[in-house]
Structure 1
Amino acid sequence: MSNWFKKNGIHIGIILFFLILCFVYFSPAFQGKVLMQSDVQKAAATQSEIMKYNELDGKAPLWTNSMFGGMPTYQIWLKYPSNITTHIIDGIKASFPNPVDIVLLYLIGTYFLLIVLGLSPWLAAVGALAFGFSSYNFIFIEAGHSNQAMAIAFFPSILAGIFLTLKGKYWLGAAVTGLFVALEIRSNHIQMTYYLFIALLILMGIECFYAYKNKTLNTFGKSVGVLVLSAILGVAVNAGTLWTTYEYGQFSTRGKSNITTDNLRPNNGLDKDYAFQWSQGVGETFTLLIPNAYGGASQPMLDAESNVAKAIVAKGADINQATGFAQQMPVYWGPKPFTSGPWYFGAFVLFLFIFGLFIVKGKLKWWLLSATILSILLAFGKNFSLVSDLFFNYFPLYNKFRSVEFNLVIASLCVPILACMAIFEATKPSADVKDVVKKLKTSAYIVLGILVALLAIPSVLFSFKADNHQEFLTQLNQIAGGDNSFGQSIASALIEDRISLFRADALRSILFIVVGIGVLWALINKKIAQPLGLIIIGLVVLTDLWSLDKRYLNDEKFVAKAIMNQQAKPREVDEFILRDRDPHFRVLDLSISTFQSADASAFHKTIGGYHAAKLKRFQEVVDKQFTGSLNQDVLDMMNTKYFITTGKDGQSASMQSNGTATGNAWFVNAIQYAKNNDEEMNGISSFDPIKEAIVHEEFKPLIEGEKVGVATNGSIKLTSYHPDLMKYEYTADKNVVAVFSEIWYPKGWNLYVDGEPKSYFRANYLLRAAVLPVGNHKIEWKFEPTSYFLGENISLFGSILLSLILIIAIYREIARKQPA
């Protein structure tokens, strides 16, 4: 045991150092405070009904009615207990407070990868700091994109498994790759996994070329075979997750349009303008080197010392008024609608990347460079359509994802890896010192030359004006009461403030690079010992990124749990509606942006809500029936019992009951058949839902052979509500058609009459309906998706197999290291 500690003591020490860093940075989290994350608050609201029944039943329901009339819980919150990685992630989260768990995964995963690549522990620690504290890794956390951050945190470990396999360590490589692919998929952010997959395609292409060149294709083929099997195993472990996601995706806004004449939505995938809305500006690439090159975040940051404040004071305003006005000025001037901060990799880290292009040799450099360039080009989106349109139109599944700037996560990992490899090559005992110093000087001339030029003449190269500058100027003139000269002076002062922010950060980057170059030069010339030099470089990198991250994720973002709980406190109008004992009705909250806000979902089964992938049919109804004006007939058929509107004062909320809501289920007198989805949608534009149903003619055989009549003496009522199990009782003197105010989703809902399965069909474009037999009967609607239950069985098998491979791999490694 003492031998083991002696061999691994440095690794344990460095991991403890990472933990201490997290403790210091996130000290409020260790004091019982929680991070105020907007997306986490939204998620809590959307999960309200799920968590209620999870607590009651000991398991989460597979369906929820808390948003958009109803949808599966797959992409909201679901446990998947048969998946071993569910329990691993739960264990990680239980061991460390949020967001310490994610940052530790950033750091330890990258450290592991760089050790696998053959770097020393000290140098691997530098790389871990460079990636772990990269600006957007913290911005993702601040925004509450926890799944996204978790998925990114597993990138390095997947790469480590791949490189172990390519080195011929097949059992260990397979175990590591399979485990972390499984964890990656379970993080449930397919977009991040997809971007990693693109980078891995490039890696395998380069490895294949070199294998052909070196006549080692057989060995390469064996490695690829092991990796493919590992990936399949990772997929099998997540069969429940992937199957349900794939199945749901076909019916979501990522799937095909149902309406042929729909110009608002694409036939397949996302609308390009929507997908490319958050595209990185081409010039915005300079934020990788100068964080405030484009003004930083959209949040206000000017103060009393700003040029804007001084310009207002010069017009006679007091300093408090001037400061308040200045704090409303938009300092970010890039092309995105808004941003939480810049993509910044660290000035000296980026310098080392450039240096690495000169000094590092071999296939790994070409992969890191290629993946970095492609990720940057794809992040440009609409601002560089040559590459983006090619991928959007022809690369499978690429058009399913939005916010293409997130492609930069690949560059954020590749840049620190090549940076560390540059240090490794420069400080090797066999390195030619003169040649290394020459290349160091060349890199310094390039990077520092660019920075000095930008510092000296920023306005020559950049406008510092947003795309909507003229509209902004018009607004300023209106605020100034038509005094155009005053509005122009404010706009000019704002530009000067943006230039000041630019110059301050350009100078900041120069200082970090100069200090870093000095330390690296001393290392190359053996003026200082290598461990000490690497520790100093690590401190330079950490100081740079730490201070930048604190601009966006700092102690002020943490609040007491009591304050966080107050955020979800119901209003008086919500409490009034909650007193209604009816187990199942819907609410339309017009006091909020109802189809973009999760607030109402915290308390009600709402027509609106917030989710990035709602059902496509529902979105089409929103586009056709709720845009411009609200279709009362559609609201009635969805059993919208209450409307919440904004009060006369513009702030308070008031409530109005809807007397024409249809209820949970009803018998209709007539069926109107539609030839296609377009006719079906047009049919519900104006109809009486309580009397007639609009049905697609594909379902005609389910109705015409049943001798349906009109019930003269009948009733139907909901007797028991559960999100994925609803019970009804009814009486009918004839075979009747009943329409249920429940969302149509054909992959999982089953209808039972007195325990016997019964066919059902779609009615009114969005709802479920069925022909019910004459008499007194009991009905059950059960949500029983095969994709979930069979997928969970496959997950269990995959989890057992993965566990066995891990045990074998660990045993073989221990046996290999034992002395003969």
Structure 2
Amino acid sequence: MDKWFKRNGQHMAIIGIFLIVCFFYFTPAFSGKTLGQSDVVGAQSTQKEINDYREKGQTILWTNQIFGGMPAYQIWAPYPNNITTWVVKAVKTVLPNPVDTVLILLLGTYLLLNVLKVKPWLAGAGAIAFTFSSYNIILLTAGHSNQAFAIAFFAPVIAGIILTFRGKYLTGAALTALFLAMEIRANHIQMTYYLMLALLILLGIELYHAFKGKTMPAFVKSVTYLAAALVLAVLVNISMLWSNAEYAKDSYRGKSNLTKNAKEPKNGLDKDYAYEWSQGVGECFTFLIPNAYGGGNGTETLDKTSATAKVFLNKNVAEEQAVNYAQQLSNFPGLSLYWGNKPGTAGPFYFGAVICFLFVLGLIIVRNRLKWWLLATVLLTMLLSFGKNLPFLSDLFFNYFPLYNKFRAVESILAVASLCFPILAVLAIQELSDNPDKAAIFKKLKIAFFIVGGITLLMIAIPDALLNFRSDDQAAGVSNLTQALQGDSNMAQSIASALREDRISLERTDAIRTLIFVVVAFGLLWAFVKQKINLTVMSIGLFALVLVDMWQIDKRYLKDANFQDKVDADAAVKPREVDSFIMRDNDPDFRVFDASANIKFDVFNPFFHKSVSGYSAARLKRFDELIDNQFSKSINHDVLDMLNTKYIITTDPKTQQASMQVNHTACGNAWFVKNIRFADNADQEMQAISSFSPKDEAIVDKQYTKMIDTKPTAFDAAAKITLTNYNPDHMTYESTSGTPQVAVFSEIYYDKGWTMLIDGKESPYFRSDYVLRAASIPVGNHKIEFVFHPASYYTGETISLIGSILLLLALGGAIYIGVKKQPELAVK
């Protein structure tokens, strides 16, 4: 045991420091406070019905709370047979949010760098650099926990793969399977996709060297083990993956049903929407100088010493009012401190002054073939992050690479680059310490210093010669500001010029700061090369320097003030008087339409009602098309009726007083129709529901002709169909009619998992009125049920259990072999 502690003492000390860093940076989290409350509250609104049933001890896989209805596993679903579910629960039980994610980031990166045989203190510095790269911290601040959690497993997945390629086949494959399973479980496909791009480059480089070094048998063996690990990770998550893949075709990101009046392309996202958050080419200066582009919206404020405030002060405006005016300029387009061409940003991608310097050094001195993988990955991710600013390459991926057109905010691919930078940085220090030719290494060190230091000096001396510090839409902002200043264009121009001065001042201040960190880092390396200090002192010095560097910048975006007391959504969101009135209605299944709400971004109404609106990035494509075509220009009352919209809320624009009216023409939960009108395609179907009588006729695509008896049948005016039992994924109706009838159900059509039973026997149903369900009901009295029991989830859970058991066996086997080999190593 003493030998174990002696052998691992440094590792334990560094892990202890990680814990101390987490405690001091995230102190409020340990006292019960949390981040991202607006996102949490928004999520709780979409989960309202799901959570209500969970409190009753019941899991539902369909919810009618938003957009008329959609699968619940796109919002929340349990995966009890997935071992990673229990790992996540254990981590979140022990550690508060976001400390759990931060610690995984730290430990995962530390593991990777140790696998790369980096000295412990250097590995610790690299772990700090990646974990506290500004993008990760900004994600945590915004409450994007799934995305940050997915990024946290980048490093350990790579660690497992590298171990496998180094000949530790079972251990490497088992760890790869575990960490890849966790990566997939984070359920952020975009981040996982970006990681896969980097891994494909790594695979290509390993293949090249295997072919060149004539070690193809070992390469094939490694790839075989890794393929098995991939299969195992997929099996563990098959329930989630199968459900998502099945739903994706019908989701907002799937293929368009319309050929006319379609706001989205035939497949994938609209390109402008996908590219909306594209990294500006010049914005890459922020890797080194965080405020090169003005920082983020709202992260920097203009005080009384700013040039902008002085413009108002020179007009004899009171100091407090002048500062207030200056800070309100961000309300005008192009007049915020951030001047890039994104619609807005919470902050820049800052990789660290020290890390950027060491990265350049790594490009010069590192001989490890991983350098070429890291460089290729950085170049690819940077180029793809440019999006609309480099359309040739971006369009190539968007149009031809599978799934790529499903993702938006392409700048987020830089999360991969933010890992590559510190890896190469610490490999550079490792190379510097291992290379005996200190004279040659010092020359290369000076070259790196002159490159990075020179760029920084230029950004201090003549920043406006390299960057223009004007936003693309500044002219529009000046025009709007002129109107606000009652036509005083000279004043508006003076303010815009002063704002540019403030942007330059922010950049210059950060450039000076960067230069100081680069000089200190160079000084540490100089002292080591000249044998003034030993490796341990130099490594600890770099660890501390990187920590101070990243900490200072991150505190601009995640301060103690960002933490709040945990909010109970029921307490945080208060119902209006009209909401309270509607909630007294005991009808279990009707919808509410709030005409004043943004239909696609409504996180308020679903707290209280089953709503026509809502918020979900994975809403059904057909319902999204319904909104675009029937609600964007004017509200189609016929569509509200068919959606059983019982109450309509309006808000007085002047008083903001909400009022409500009962919609007496709402069709109800289900009804029999007199006529069927067939449409040739989705376009005709959409056109037909633009003006029709939903209570009397159903608009049906001709593909369902065989499910309907088209022979003339007398309409039974006395026939009835009523909802007798409501459960979101098990609806029960009773019908009575003297002749066969066609019933329309005011429930959203989704053909994957829903089964209709008539008197316990499965019967066909079809789509009606573009988004609803309909069915032919025989004469007589019948019990009709709609049951949602998707095989993708339930069968997937069985497969997931098998995968979880196999993963445990693989990990157990790796541990057993590792323990068994240790005595042999001791004897040798």
TM-score normalized by structure 1? 0.98
- Contact conserved, 1:425 with 1:431, CA < 8 A, in 2? no
User: 1:10 and 2:10 equivalent?
Assistant: yes
1:507 is aligned to 512
- For 1:22 and 1:139, locate their aligned partners in 2 and report how far apart those are by CA, in whole Å: 16
| 1:694 counterpart SS class | strand
- Contact conserved, 1:669 with 1:691, CA < 8 A, in 2? yes
Aligned-residue Cα RMSD (Å) equals: 1.4
Note the C-alpha offset of 1:304. 2.3
Note the C-alpha offset of 1:145. 0.8
- Contact conserved, 2:44 with 2:569, CA < 8 A, in 1? no
| 1:308 counterpart SS class | helix
TM-superposition CA deviations, 1:613-649 (whole Å, max 9, x none) = 2111111111111111111111110111122222253
1:111 is aligned to 110
1:143 is aligned to 142
Instruction: State the identity as a percent.
Output: 54
Q: Which piece of structure 1 moves more, 442-451 or 252-261?
A: 252-261
- For 2:144 and 2:258, locate their aligned partners in 1 and report how far apart those are by CA, in whole Å: 33
| 1:293 counterpart SS class | helix
1:733 is aligned to 738
- For 2:611 and 2:763, locate their aligned partners in 1 and report how far apart those are by CA, in whole Å: 28
Note the C-alpha offset of 1:541. 0.7
Note the C-alpha offset of 1:45. 1.6
Mapping for residues 414-563 of structure 1, pairs under 5 Å: 414-428=420-434, 430-562=435-567
- Contact conserved, 1:665 with 1:717, CA < 8 A, in 2? yes
1:337 is aligned to 343
Structure 2 counterpart of 1:700, from 699, 705, 710: 705
Shift in alpha-carbon separation, 1:4–1:569, aligned structure 2, 3 A: farther
- Contact conserved, 1:40 with 1:145, CA < 8 A, in 2? no
The one-letter code sitting in structure 1 at the alignment partner of 2:15 is: I
- Contact conserved, 2:481 with 2:492, CA < 8 A, in 1? yes
Note the C-alpha offset of 1:535. 1.2
- For 1:412 and 1:87, locate their aligned partners in 2 and report how far apart those are by CA, in whole Å: 29
2:614 is aligned to 609
TM-superposition CA deviations, 1:483-524 (whole Å, max 9, x none) = 111111111111111111111111111111111111122122
User: 1:226 and 2:225 equivalent?
Assistant: yes
- For 2:533 and 2:14, locate their aligned partners in 1 and report how far apart those are by CA, in whole Å: 21
- For 1:614 and 1:779, locate their aligned partners in 2 and report how far apart those are by CA, in whole Å: 27
2:162 is aligned to 163
Note the C-alpha offset of 1:574. 2.0
TM-superposition CA deviations, 1:43-71 (whole Å, max 9, x none) = 1221111111122124x311111111111
1:51 is aligned to 51
- Contact conserved, 2:256 with 2:262, CA < 8 A, in 1? no
2:28 is aligned to 28
- For 2:202 and 2:572, locate their aligned partners in 1 and report how far apart those are by CA, in whole Å: 46
1:590 is aligned to 595
Structure 2 counterpart of 1:646, from 645, 651, 659: 651
- For 2:607 and 2:190, locate their aligned partners in 1 and report how far apart those are by CA, in whole Å: 27
Shift in alpha-carbon separation, 1:507–1:652, aligned structure 2, 3 A: farther
- Contact conserved, 1:151 with 1:188, CA < 8 A, in 2? yes
The one-letter code sitting in structure 2 at the alignment partner of 1:490 is: I
The one-letter code sitting in structure 2 at the alignment partner of 1:411 is: A
- Contact conserved, 1:706 with 1:735, CA < 8 A, in 2? no
Note the C-alpha offset of 1:424. 0.4
User: 1:682 and 2:691 equivalent?
Assistant: no
The one-letter code sitting in structure 1 at the alignment partner of 2:784 is: I
Note the C-alpha offset of 1:408. 0.3
- For 2:436 and 2:605, locate their aligned partners in 1 and report how far apart those are by CA, in whole Å: 64
Shift in alpha-carbon separation, 1:476–1:726, aligned structure 2, 3 A: same
Note the C-alpha offset of 1:10. 2.2
Q: Which piece of structure 1 moves more, 701-710 or 577-586?
A: 701-710
1:770 is aligned to 775
2:380 is aligned to 374
1:410 is aligned to 416
The one-letter code sitting in structure 1 at the alignment partner of 2:32 is: G
- For 2:287 and 2:245, locate their aligned partners in 1 and report how far apart those are by CA, in whole Å: 35
- Contact conserved, 2:36 with 2:140, CA < 8 A, in 1? no
1:66 is aligned to 65
- For 1:648 and 1:200, locate their aligned partners in 2 and report how far apart those are by CA, in whole Å: 53
Note the C-alpha offset of 1:263. 4.2
- For 1:384 and 1:648, locate their aligned partners in 2 and report how far apart those are by CA, in whole Å: 43
1:389 is aligned to 395
User: 1:287 and 2:286 equivalent?
Assistant: yes
| 1:778 counterpart SS class | strand
Q: Which piece of structure 1 moves more, 173-182 or 321-330?
A: 321-330
- For 1:513 and 1:524, locate their aligned partners in 2 and report how far apart those are by CA, in whole Å: 16
- For 2:419 and 2:519, locate their aligned partners in 1 and report how far apart those are by CA, in whole Å: 23
Q: Which piece of structure 1 moves more, 43-52 or 125-134?
A: 43-52
| 1:221 counterpart SS class | helix
Q: Which piece of structure 1 moves more, 758-767 or 648-657?
A: 648-657
- For 2:585 and 2:769, locate their aligned partners in 1 and report how far apart those are by CA, in whole Å: 27
| 2:56 counterpart SS class | helix
- Contact conserved, 2:62 with 2:788, CA < 8 A, in 1? yes
Note the C-alpha offset of 1:81. 0.9
Note the C-alpha offset of 1:566. 4.0
Q: Which piece of structure 1 moves more, 643-652 or 226-235?
A: 643-652
The one-letter code sitting in structure 1 at the alignment partner of 2:597 is: I
- Contact conserved, 1:37 with 1:142, CA < 8 A, in 2? no
Q: Which piece of structure 1 moves more, 692-701 or 27-36?
A: 27-36
Structure 1 counterpart of 2:365, from 329, 338, 359: 359
- For 2:808 and 2:646, locate their aligned partners in 1 and report how far apart those are by CA, in whole Å: 51
- Contact conserved, 2:304 with 2:322, CA < 8 A, in 1? yes
| 1:257 counterpart SS class | coil
- Contact conserved, 2:275 with 2:409, CA < 8 A, in 1? yes
| 1:427 counterpart SS class | helix
Flag as ranges the 4+ runs of structure 1 deviating above 6 A. Answer: none
- For 1:565 and 1:17, locate their aligned partners in 2 and report how far apart those are by CA, in whole Å: 39
1:174 is aligned to 173
| 2:53 counterpart SS class | helix
Q: Which piece of structure 1 moves more, 246-255 or 596-605?
A: 596-605
2:195 is aligned to 196
- For 2:516 and 2:370, locate their aligned partners in 1 and report how far apart those are by CA, in whole Å: 30
1:313 is aligned to 313
- For 2:603 and 2:385, locate their aligned partners in 1 and report how far apart those are by CA, in whole Å: 28
1:266 is aligned to 265
- For 2:555 and 2:688, locate their aligned partners in 1 and report how far apart those are by CA, in whole Å: 56
The one-letter code sitting in structure 1 at the alignment partner of 2:648 is: F
- Contact conserved, 1:147 with 1:187, CA < 8 A, in 2? yes
- For 1:224 and 1:386, locate their aligned partners in 2 and report how far apart those are by CA, in whole Å: 33
- For 1:571 and 1:558, locate their aligned partners in 2 and report how far apart those are by CA, in whole Å: 28
- Contact conserved, 1:707 with 1:735, CA < 8 A, in 2? no
- Contact conserved, 1:202 with 1:371, CA < 8 A, in 2? yes
- Contact conserved, 1:133 with 1:546, CA < 8 A, in 2? yes
Shift in alpha-carbon separation, 1:422–1:500, aligned structure 2, 3 A: same
- For 2:135 and 2:367, locate their aligned partners in 1 and report how far apart those are by CA, in whole Å: 29
- Contact conserved, 2:262 with 2:625, CA < 8 A, in 1? no
- Contact conserved, 2:650 with 2:658, CA < 8 A, in 1? yes
- For 1:796 and 1:608, locate their aligned partners in 2 and report how far apart those are by CA, in whole Å: 36
Q: Which piece of structure 1 moves more, 140-149 or 296-305?
A: 296-305
- For 1:799 and 1:333, locate their aligned partners in 2 and report how far apart those are by CA, in whole Å: 49
TM-score normalized by structure 2? 0.97
| 1:292 counterpart SS class | helix
The one-letter code sitting in structure 1 at the alignment partner of 2:4 is: W
Note the C-alpha offset of 1:573. 2.5
Note the C-alpha offset of 1:708. 4.9
1:400 is aligned to 406
- Contact conserved, 1:353 with 1:422, CA < 8 A, in 2? yes
User: 1:795 and 2:800 equivalent?
Assistant: yes
Q: Which piece of structure 1 moves more, 304-313 or 85-94?
A: 304-313
- Contact conserved, 2:679 with 2:700, CA < 8 A, in 1? yes
- For 1:493 and 1:504, locate their aligned partners in 2 and report how far apart those are by CA, in whole Å: 16
| 2:254 counterpart SS class | coil
